[in-house]
Structure 1
Amino acid sequence: MEDIYIVMLVALFALAVTDLVVGVSNDAINFLSSAIGSRAFPMKTILIVASVGVGVGAIFSSGIMEVARKGIFMPGQFYFEEIMIIFMAVMITDVLLLDFFNSLGLPTSTTVSIVFELLGAAVSVAVIKIYNGSGNYGEIFSYINTSKATEIIMGILMAVVIAFLIGAIVQYLSRLIFSFQFEKKIKYAGAIFGGVSLTAILYFILLKGLKSVTFISQDFLSYLDNNTLVILGAGLVIFTLISQLLMSLFKTHILKFIILIGTFSLALAFAGNDLVNFIGVPIAAWQSFELWQAAYAASGTLPSQFLMSDLQGEVSTPAFLLLGAGGVMVITLWFSRKARNVVETGVNLSRQGEVTERFDPNFLSRAIVRYSVLLGNAIGAITPKAVSQKIDEKFQKPGAFTRDSEETPAFDLVRASVNLVVASILISIGTSLKLPLSTTYVTFMVAMGTSLADRAWDRESAVYRVAGVVNVVGGWFVTALVAFSAAAIFAAIIYFGGIIAITILIILAIFSIARSFVLHARKEKEKKRKKPFRRNDISTINDIVVESSKNISSIVCGVNQMFSKTVKNLGYYDKSKLKKNKKSIKKLESEIDELKRNVFYFIKSIEETSLDSNRFYILILDYLQDIVQSIGYITRNSYNHVNNNHKNLKFNQIRDLKRVDDKMQALFDEIEDIFAHRDFARIDVVLAGKQALLSDVGELIEKQIKRIRTTESSPRNSELYFGLLLETRDLITSTMNLLELYREFNIAVEATMFSTGLPQKEQD
């Protein structure tokens, strides 16, 4: 009997390690995004500082471990075997849920997930107990710590609003003081700004955080409580002097110093507040096992008879477990690729300049932006013109944010400092009040508030950024709902299925995470293969040739594969593969959409002597779009035909399409090779076969007309077959038009090189 629970404990701690990995991958946005977005330091420096903060914060976290033991439910109402079921369901759910959000690259709250998982699993087991017992479901409130659970949930929801408003207000005031040209004013006001920031961090991180450390003497803590104002006053003076000394004597950029300390403090606050989310449950399970084991040794109490009332008391967390958990968090911080994706989402939503927007507008984001513009216009109408002009001067952005480069910061040092200091303070307040405050909610909403106040969301980007925020916040509500429901279901399954159900669920979790890892690695590989457009990549004619050749080769390769797969899968009447083809066509369409979005920047980046090339590049995109539209029609119509259960094409029709496919494949292979190696002399050879291809397709159209007149044929089949042939003809025409355009442009480029006397190799 004891062995079963030992196995469950081993599984819980294994799940805890996995949970630490997936949890830190998601929560890395909390303390990395500001430092990374501002480009204040190299990535290695940021990770070192964050790692130290996480390690120290892990030690500070022991004071809030009771959230998993008694913060959500009443342990005295559950027997030991029921408590273990609750804990097992919670950990399995948490691992699956956080990994899912990591794969999407969306930040979610590990605090909300653990709170609602504990709530869902406890409610599920309580309902089963009531059903098997009295049947009075009103008793459910005696199983749940409703007051504490309500306090936690309300605290989390309030934190969203408070973090956004405080972040916006502090950033707006900071920008009015420093403006975007802050280098001059920082010499005079930087010491005070640094003194206030560092004193605030000292108070909320050190003075409050030390209270959670078990090896600090009570006399020392009492001294801190009794002399708080004196310590703060002295800290303000000392840190102001230190800030001035750093700027004057050591020529240190005080904002960079604040970002460094802020990153450390936020990482510390994260570990101190969120470590309970990852290891609190297995530690509570271990402590429960020890309590039952002692009772069993003393009186032979069975797991189904031992109430867990003793979990109500204070139980300290072993230091080695905290240090071990901190070590896992640090390793994850350095090596997790998914963490970088989640950070990228937060950075791009708060970016000062333009970026390829990830989120599509929705009705809510459009409405919010529309009414915000109306409100802004109303406020502007009643504000004196002189005041408006003075404020606008403070928000004049430097040219650094208009450059498109990997080294371009997403926002400046002032905003990064405000993000870190405000978020650290708010999270530390929650920690000191023993509330498992959502660090994700606080840091994300502070960053969004500062972005709004800093006018990073202009008329060009606001609807996309607001849509992103709506999607992320909506995901938080989904987190709560899914966490509660999944944990409740898993708890019921484990309750009735026992060790077999636990084994199956753990295998499911392992399979899900392994599959997620493989898919994410594949997506990262694809992302690296497709180099994103950057404005400073193109400025000359040769750059245009290189960029357009790469685009054509990529699109043609995708169209080639899609055409062959569609013909093959249509022949086999394979609905599932045709559906996969239909989904894959969106990748080609997104490539074209991204190229079209960058046309504005492309035209601005071209040298004046190359302005005649703009028309060429735009027409190239137009022909590529026609090509993708044709293959999109072919793919979607083929899927719709099969999905509607219409009769399959006849053998002769499939055979004729396969012959066309063979010729199209040879054509596209040749074109892909031409542009991959930029061997444009071979274009004439391909163009010579244009008429033969069009004639072959025309003959098949005539052949189908004769079939309809002479033999019985399905109207739906004829509709599909004619559609495929006509779109294939359009596909060939668009492809050949693109080649003709490129041939003419290449002739013009060679003539230009000849007139300037530059050899081909020098141009390349």
Structure 2
Amino acid sequence: METIYLCIVIFLFALAIFDLMVGVSNDAVNFLNSAIGAKAASFKTVLFIAAIGIMIGASLSNGMMEIARNGIYQPEHFYFAEIMCILLAVMLTDVVLLDVFNSMGMPTSTTVSMVFELLGGTFALALIKVHNNDDLGLGNLINTDKALSVIMAIFVSVAIAFFFGMVVQWLARIIFTFNYKKHIKYSIGLFGGIAATAIIYFMLIKGLKDSSFMTAENKQWLQDNTLMLVGCFFVFFTILMQILHWLKINVFKVVVLLGTFALALAFAGNDLVNFIGVPLAGYSSFTDYMANGTGAGANGFLMTSLLGPAKTPWYFLVAAGAVMVYALCTSKKAHNVIKTSVDLSRQDEGEESFGSTPIARTLVRISMTLANGISKLIPDNAKKWIDTRFRKDEAIIADGAAFDLVRASVNLVLAGLLIALGTSLKLPLSTTYVTFMVAMGTSLADRAWGRDSAVYRITGVLSVIGGWFLTAGAAFTICFFVAMIIHFGGSVAIVILIGLAAFSLIRSQIMFKKKKEKEKGNETLKQLMKASDSEEALQLMRKHTREELTKVLEYVENNFELTVTSFLHENLRGLRRAMGSTKFEKQLIKQMKRTGTVAMCKLDNNTVLEKGLYYYQGNDFASELVYSTARLCEPCLEHIDNNFNSLDAIQKGEFGDVAEDITYLIRKCRTKLEANDYNNFEEEIRRANDLNAQLSHLKRQELQRIQSQSGSVRVSMIYLTMVQEAQNVVTYTINLMKVSRKFQMEG
């Protein structure tokens, strides 16, 4: 029996390594978002500074893992076997859950996930214990205060961080404007002093408050002399930053990199419990059981020892820091999560990662009405003066950056201050929530959310916030059932669940790689957005257009064939799959049109006048192709779903033959477009004309059958619809090829 629990402890530590890697992939956005978004330094430099912060923070962490030892469950009422069941369920759930969020590129809270997993696992075992023992109640077994404080943290963090991010950034922009180099002669020293002081204060209060060298005496001394320390730091850093400015050193970059270091240090020092707290609790339980409980047995030895504090050996902390640094430098999913946050706070327009939702559209309308009402109360002279401070065309943004250094500085300083303030006031503010929502508030104040992008940005923010709530529910529910399965299934269940977790992680990696392969086509668009020369932009736009239109023709070919084949064989599942992919493709078409229009701004006037019409016509024909396949699929799906009569043998034979020729035509056109080779294109035009003639003949034949009343009117209606939409597909395909040829031709 002891061997089984030893294997569980070893497996808990193995899972901890994975948990550290997926956890860092998620939480990297907290401290890298601002520095990477503003390109305060090279990517490697930013990672190096963050890595130092992580290593120091992890090494100095005191390893007090009370939340995993007694924060949720009351260990004095649980036996060793029950505690190990809870801890194993938590780790299995946590690794898979965080990996899923990272794969989607959605930042979530590792604290929320761990707390609610502990709560779910504990609740499962508590129900069993209450059922078996009338003397125990849920209140004796579960500490619900911690869970409630985390729920409150979501609301508190979101509201406070967003509001203050918006207000402080608005004030910063009023002071510095977008052309900040003109307005920093003397104010930069004061700003740098405030910023550096806030960051150091944050490091002392939040980042190092539980470090190994922070004894009770040191904490008390810091608390008694806080005002003196803050005053000295402020004077020192104000003078230092002014001197650095006179030495032609960009103070904003210094602030951003210092803030990145501070947040990374705080993350490693405080959030380490989220990754290794549970395995360490399992290790502590096992050592206590082996020393004192083998006589009572795993189901008879109570874990009262977990009530006491435990210091973590330094080598565990150093090893954890090393794994976190490795994950930070190598994880592609960390970059994916960072991209979500940076894209949502981007200053200029570009490819939006999210669509629009009814809630987002309603919020935009309400905000516009409110803004218009406030605008009427402000004097015209004041509005004109404020507008001069927000001239975005004067923005000093590094090449390829999403926003400027002023906003990056405010993001880091304000996030650090709010987290430090929350810690000192014992408010459970979440690092993830604060940093993300501050970034969203500052981007709104910077007028980065214009009327053309606001609905997409708000949808993205709501999606991330919704993911936070989803984390809590999913963590609780999944861990509840996993704990139940382990408790009743024993060793067999453990082996099966470990296998499922491993399968899930491997499958996630494979799916993520496939997703990244698909996204490689966006590299052309990224290059296009960075292009400064009109001729270079035109060549990149031609390449991007070929890639996008090739995808459209590939979709039309597959979906047309799937729809027709599924309808002729009365395959309801195939039609539903075709209809689902049609809805997704419509969103891609909208996104393609939007990004293409933004890219057009890179071309000079003559090129736009000469080639622009062909480009827009190509997009329109691509859109019509997608909508034609939707108009073909929808009535076919409804017809089969209602179990109406199928086509007769003659209709199936006639249309089936023509459909094969249409699919072949689309394939030939796609091949030519992809290769940018329009030689012998007249052959495709002739084939299209022949197909349209055939389809017109089928239409006349069907009308004659209706006239003679030789078949079902309902069947005739669906047949005529299919013939008409097939004609549209043929016509739009050839028209798409014609305008594409004109757009791709030189001269």
Q: Same fold (TM over 0.5)?
A: yes
Quote the residue 2:405 is aligned against. Answer: 413
SS in 1 for 2:180: coil
**Alignment map for 1:452-601 (pairs within 5 Å):** 452-530=444-522, 531-532=524-525, 534=528, 539=534, 546-598=543-595, 600-601=597-598
Aligned residues of 1:553 and 1:671 also touching (Cα < 8 A):
no
**Distance in 1 of aligned mates of 2:739 and 2:726:** 20
Report the CA distance between 1:260 and its aligned residue: 0.9
**Alignment map for 1:643-682 (pairs within 5 Å):** 643-646=641-644, 649=647, 653-682=651-680
Give a deviation string over 1:125-149, Cα, whole Å, max 9, x none.
111111112187xx21121223444
Quote the residue 1:311 is aligned against. Answer: 306
Q: Counterpart amino acid of 1:442?
A: V
Q: Which moved more, 1:509-518 or 1:256-265?
A: 509-518
Aligned residues of 2:705 and 2:711 also touching (Cα < 8 A):
yes
Quote the residue 1:762 is aligned against. Answer: none
**Distance in 2 of aligned mates of 1:7 and 1:434:** 39
Q: Counterpart amino acid of 2:437?
A: M
Quote the residue 2:370 is aligned against. Answer: 375
Quote the residue 1:20 is aligned against. Answer: 20
Report the CA distance between 1:681 and its aligned residue: 3.9
Matched, 1:338 2:336: no
Q: Which moved more, 1:358-367 or 1:17-26?
A: 358-367
**Distance in 2 of aligned mates of 1:229 and 1:738:** 70
**Alignment map for 1:216-255 (pairs within 5 Å):** 224-249=222-247, 251-255=248-252
Report the CA distance between 1:461 and its aligned residue: 2.3
Number of aligned pairs? 741
Distance verdict in 2 for CA 1:640–1:49, change over 3 Å: farther
Distance verdict in 2 for CA 1:256–1:602, change over 3 Å: closer
**Distance in 1 of aligned mates of 2:215 and 2:629:** 73
Gaps of 5+ in 1: 754-764
Distance verdict in 2 for CA 1:372–1:609, change over 3 Å: closer
Percent sequence identity over matched residues?
43
Distance verdict in 2 for CA 1:182–1:399, change over 3 Å: closer
Distance verdict in 2 for CA 1:208–1:93, change over 3 Å: closer
**Distance in 1 of aligned mates of 2:740 and 2:475:** 55
Aligned residues of 1:274 and 1:436 also touching (Cα < 8 A):
no
SS in 2 for 1:62: coil
Distance verdict in 2 for CA 1:110–1:624, change over 3 Å: same
Aligned residues of 2:93 and 2:475 also touching (Cα < 8 A):
yes
Report the CA distance between 1:178 and its aligned residue: 1.3
Give a deviation string over 1:620-646, Cα, whole Å, max 9, x none.
222222222222233444444444444
Q: Counterpart amino acid of 1:614?
A: G
Aligned residues of 2:205 and 2:424 also touching (Cα < 8 A):
no
Distance verdict in 2 for CA 1:158–1:591, change over 3 Å: closer
Q: Which moved more, 1:320-329 or 1:310-319?
A: 320-329
**Distance in 1 of aligned mates of 2:322 and 2:646:** 60
Report the CA distance between 1:23 and its aligned residue: 1.7
**Distance in 1 of aligned mates of 2:632 and 2:201:** 65
Quote the residue 1:347 is aligned against. Answer: 342
Matched, 1:279 2:290: no
Report the CA distance between 1:354 and its aligned residue: 1.1
Aligned residues of 1:71 and 1:149 also touching (Cα < 8 A):
no
**Distance in 2 of aligned mates of 1:510 and 1:395:** 52
Give a deviation string over 1:27-48, Cα, whole Å, max 9, x none.
1211111111112222111111
Q: Which moved more, 1:204-213 or 1:727-736?
A: 204-213
Quote the residue 1:61 is aligned against. Answer: 61
Aligned residues of 2:207 and 2:262 also touching (Cα < 8 A):
no
**Distance in 2 of aligned mates of 1:159 and 1:10:** 36
**Distance in 2 of aligned mates of 1:450 and 1:548:** 34
SS in 2 for 1:87: helix
**Distance in 2 of aligned mates of 1:452 and 1:553:** 37
Quote the residue 2:123 is aligned against. Answer: 123
Quote the residue 1:732 is aligned against. Answer: 730
Q: Counterpart amino acid of 1:685?
A: E
Q: Counterpart amino acid of 2:200?
A: L
Quote the residue 2:264 is aligned against. Answer: 267
Q: Counterpart amino acid of 2:577?
A: K
Aligned residues of 2:541 and 2:599 also touching (Cα < 8 A):
no
Aligned residues of 2:666 and 2:733 also touching (Cα < 8 A):
no
Give a deviation string over 1:206-243, Cα, whole Å, max 9, x none.
46544423256666666545544433333222222322
Aligned residues of 1:159 and 1:441 also touching (Cα < 8 A):
yes
Distance verdict in 2 for CA 1:742–1:463, change over 3 Å: closer
Match of 1:213 among 206, 211, 214: 211
Quote the residue 1:39 is aligned against. Answer: 39
Quote the residue 2:417 is aligned against. Answer: 425
Aligned residues of 1:273 and 1:431 also touching (Cα < 8 A):
no
Aligned residues of 1:272 and 1:431 also touching (Cα < 8 A):
no
**Alignment map for 1:317-336 (pairs within 5 Å):** 317-336=312-331
**Distance in 1 of aligned mates of 2:206 and 2:549:** 60
Quote the residue 1:609 is aligned against. Answer: 606
Report the CA distance between 1:745 and its aligned residue: 6.9
Matched, 1:396 2:388: no
Q: Counterpart amino acid of 2:182?
A: K
Quote the residue 1:758 is aligned against. Answer: none
SS in 1 for 2:181: coil
Q: Counterpart amino acid of 1:320?
A: Y
**Distance in 2 of aligned mates of 1:217 and 1:542:** 64
Report the CA distance between 1:313 and its aligned residue: 1.0
Give a deviation string over 1:103-138, Cα, whole Å, max 9, x none.
2221111111111111121122111111112187xx
Quote the residue 1:756 is aligned against. Answer: none
Q: Which moved more, 1:307-316 or 1:196-205?
A: 196-205
Aligned residues of 2:179 and 2:394 also touching (Cα < 8 A):
no
**Distance in 2 of aligned mates of 1:733 and 1:152:** 58
Aligned residues of 2:158 and 2:433 also touching (Cα < 8 A):
yes
Q: Counterpart amino acid of 2:358?
A: F
Q: What's the TM-score once normalised by structure 1's chain length?
A: 0.90
Quote the residue 1:292 is aligned against. Answer: 289
**Distance in 1 of aligned mates of 2:637 and 2:62:** 57
**Distance in 1 of aligned mates of 2:530 and 2:428:** 46
Report the CA distance between 1:2 and its aligned residue: 0.7
Report the CA distance between 1:471 and its aligned residue: 2.0
Gaps of 5+ in 2: none
CA RMSD of aligned residues (A): 2.9
Quote the residue 2:98 is aligned against. Answer: 98
SS in 2 for 1:111: helix
Match of 2:200 among 199, 202, 216: 202
Quote the residue 1:757 is aligned against. Answer: none
SS in 2 for 1:680: coil
Aligned residues of 2:692 and 2:727 also touching (Cα < 8 A):
yes
Distance verdict in 2 for CA 1:43–1:123, change over 3 Å: same
Distance verdict in 2 for CA 1:243–1:635, change over 3 Å: same
**Distance in 1 of aligned mates of 2:388 and 2:548:** 41
SS in 2 for 1:183: helix
Report the CA distance between 1:602 and its aligned residue: 4.9
Aligned residues of 1:559 and 1:628 also touching (Cα < 8 A):
yes
Quote the residue 2:77 is aligned against. Answer: 77
Report the CA distance between 1:703 and its aligned residue: 5.2
**Alignment map for 1:161-176 (pairs within 5 Å):** 161-176=159-174
Matched, 1:112 2:109: no
Aligned residues of 2:589 and 2:623 also touching (Cα < 8 A):
yes
Report the CA distance between 1:358 and its aligned residue: 2.8
Q: Counterpart amino acid of 1:90?
A: V
Q: Counterpart amino acid of 2:499?
A: I
